A and B are shown apart, each in its own frame.
Chain A
Amino acid sequence: MTQPVRGGMPVILRLPEVLRADNARTLPPLRLSLWHGAALGGFVLMTSIAAGSATGPVPPASVLVVLARWTPLLLRGFGFNILISFTAMAIGTVLGAFLGLGLISVSRAVRAAAWALTQFFRNAPWLVLLFFMIYMLPFHVQLGGLGISIPDWLKAVIGLALPVMANVAEVVRGGVQSIPSGQWEAAESLGFTRTQQLWEIILPQSIKRMIPPWMNLYAILTMATTLAAIVGVSEVVTLAGQVQAAEGNRTDLLAPLYGYVLLFFFFYSYPIAWLTLRLERRYAVRL
C-alpha cells in the first residue's frame, strides 16, 4: 500500500531518467594504498641510481643530488597546486551547493535549468573548460575607476571550479535523495514548510553522506591542477619542466624527476583517500 509517488511533492521522483540512475552519479572513488607509494618511491630511487651510474665524458651530478637541490622550488610549485585546488574547491563547493539545491527544487523550470548546467559542466572535458576560461576571460577588467587584472592562475581556478561545481551539485542531490521519502512525508504532515523540511530534517541527515564523495572530488581535483601547466601557470609540473631544462635536458633525469613529482601527489592524496574510505564505511546508508 505504500507507494513511492508523492503528489504533494513532485520533487525527486520525477526527474529525468539519467538523474535517477544510482550509478555514475559521482566520480569513481580514488583508491590509493601505501603500496602505491612504496612502489613509486622505489621507482624514483632505482631510476636515480641507474641514471647516476651512466658514464659519460663529464660525470654528471648524481640524480639524487639534483632532486635534492631543486626540492624547495618544486615544493613551492606544489604549494601553488594546493592553493589552486583549495580555491577551486571553495568556489566550486559554494556554487555547487546552490546548483544542487536547484536540482531538487520544486519548480520544474529551476530543476531543468540546474540539470542542464550540471550535465554540461560534468560531462565537458576539464582541459577544454580550462582553455575556455584562459582565452575567454579578459586579463584585465575595468570596474568603474578600478582596474583589476586577472592572472592566469585565477583563470585556471575558475576553469577548474566549473566542473567541481557540477560534481558538487550531484553530490548534494545524491545526498538529499539518499534520505528515505518518509522523512519528507513525516515533516510535511507535521506542518513544516518545504524550506524547513530541507534545512531542519533532510540536510542535517544527508550532509555527512556528502562528505566522502566531496573529499574524493577534492583528491581528483588536486591531481587535475597539473592541467594548469598546459596553460602556463607555474605550478609543479611547469617547474619540473624548467628544472629539466636547467639541468641541460638530461634524459636520464626525466623518469626520477617526474616520479618525484608523482610522489608529492601521492603523499598529499593518500591521507585524503584513506579518510574518505573510512568515512564512507562509517556513513554507509543505514536505515
Chain B
Amino acid sequence: MPGRFDPAPGWTPDQPLVVIDDVHKSFGTVEVLKGISLSVHKGDAACIIGPSGSGKSTLIRCVNALVPFQRGSIKVLGIEVKDPKLDKLRLRKHVGMVFQQYNLFPHRTALQNVMMAPIKVLKRPRKEVEAEAYKLLKKVRLDGKEHAYPGELSGGQQQRVAIARSLAMQPDLMLFDEVTAALDPETVKEVLITIRELAEEGMTCILVTHEMGFAREVANHIYFTDRGVIVEHGPAAEFFSSPRDPRTRAFLSQIL
C-alpha cells in the first residue's frame, strides 16, 4: 500500500528492524529487565525463551509501548519507542501483537474483528478492507467462520483470528506473546503452523514461547533470558545442540 511504510528518517532496510539496547524496566521496586540488548533483522524470527518471571513478556510489551521502561532504548524501524513525544499510532502501524489470551473483541464477529482496525484506525475504505479480511481469514484457514463470534470458536480458532486481525494492519513486525500457552494441546499445532507459514513468508517475528520444539524449528535466533538478563543466545540449531551456560542447560533439561 503506498505511503504505508514510513520508517524514521535515516533508517535503511539494511539496518536491523528492531534494536533493543540496554533496556531496564522496573515494576515499583522490582527490576524485571536488567539491561537487555538484542537486534532483529528484517525477515528474522527471534525466539525469546526462559523460565516464567524472567521478563520475556514484559520485554515484548515494551517494544510496542504497551508498558514504559525506565532506561535504555528500543528502536523499531529507527522510531525511538522511549521518546516521550512518540507517535504511538505510527509505531503501532508497524507492529502487530498477538496475546496469550487472544483478546478478541467478543461483541464482534471474526470478520469484524479483522476489519475494525484498518477501517477505524487507518481509515481505509470498507469494501477494500472487507475483501482483504476474507483473504486473511482464508490464509489462517478460517474460511467459513467469518461470521462466527469469538465465543463460538475454539481457542485455536480464536488465536488464528487474532493473528489475522494483527496482519490486517499490514505490520512490518509481529510480536507473539506466549500465544499457545492458553490453548488445548490439540489446537496448539494449528496456531504454530500458521505462525511458521508467516515466518517462512518473511514476516519479521519476535516470539515469546514455551514450545521448544517449535522454537527450534521456526526461529533463526534464540535468546534465553533468566531474571531479567539474556543469559545466552545464538542460532537455533547451535543453541539447542550445544548450550554453553549451566543455567541454559538446566532449563533445557527440564523442558525437553
Contact = CB atoms under 8 A, between A and B. Distances in A.
Interface of A: 1-3, 5-8, 180, 182-183, 185-193, 196, 200-201, 204-205
Given A190-B121, A191-B121, A191-B169, A7 B93 contact: no
Given A5-B27, A204-B107, A205-B107, A189 B58 contact: no
Contacts of A1: 52-58, 178, 208
Contacts of B65: 8
Given A1-B58, A182-B99, A190-B121, 4 more contacts: A1-B57, A191-B121, A191-B169, A201-B105
B252 interface: no
A284 to B, nearest CB: 14
Contacts of A201: 105
B117 A191 contact: yes
Interface string B96-138: 1101110111110000000011001110000000000000000
B67 A6 contact: yes
A186 B99 contact: yes
Given A1-B56, A3-B27, A5-B27, A185 B103 contact: yes
A102 B40 CA distance: 41
B117 A3 contact: no
B64 interface: yes
B106 A205 contact: yes
Contact of A2 (B88, B100, B165): B100
Contact of A6 (B66, B93, B121): B66
B92 interface: yes
A185 B102 CA distance: 11
Contact of B99 (A185, A191, A200): A185
B27 A196 contact: no
Interface string B146-181: 000000000000000010011001000000001000
15 contacts: A1-B54, A1-B55, A2-B101, A5-B67, A6-B66, A182-B99, A186-B103, A189-B96, A190-B121, A190-B166, A190-B169, A191-B121, A192-B117, A196-B120, A200-B116
B212 interface: no
Given A1-B56, A6-B66, A182-B101, A190 B89 contact: no
Contacts of A186: 97, 99, 103-105, 162
Counting from the closest, the 6 A-B pairs by CB-CB distance are: A186-B103, A1-B57, A190-B117, A182-B103, A7-B68, A191-B121
B103 A183 contact: yes
A189 B116 contact: no
Nearest to A8: B66
Contact of B105 (A7, A8, A183): A183
B198 interface: no
